[in-house]
Amino acid sequence: ENRLALRTLLELWGYVVEEAQDGAGAIQLFLEHRPEIALVDIGLPGLNGYEVAQRMRSTPGGKPFLVALTGYGRTDDRRKALDAGFDAHLVKPVDPDELERLLAAAPW
């Protein structure tokens, strides 16, 4: 599964990974752990990724580097992600080299 592969890759790079099954779970993990980076699937059940990003951004101290993960890569899709508060937009399946460059350039 793509999610397991992505988790494994991030852990190999030295990141601590927490996973949520849905949007509400993502918000709960965010509030508990205050991550520096959050990779958020747009198609989460319940609260979608756009709503998750907006809630993270509206929370005091809610300034992680937010990356949208989606199967859609049109210009409108990218704009919608940025408008929701994401810092970056990646199309699934994620290119590991692109993700590594993006995370290395993140401003934290």
pLDDT > 70 fraction of the chain, expressed in percent and rounded: 98
Q: Whole-model pTM?
A: 0.93
Q: Domain 2-100 belongs to what topology? A: Rossmann fold (3.40.50)
- Give me the phi and psi of 67, to 5 degrees please: -120, 120
Rounded distance between C-alpha atoms, residue 63 and residue 68, angstroms: 14
* Cβ count near 26 (within 10 Å): 25
Confidence band for 107, pLDDT divided at 50, 70 and 90? confident
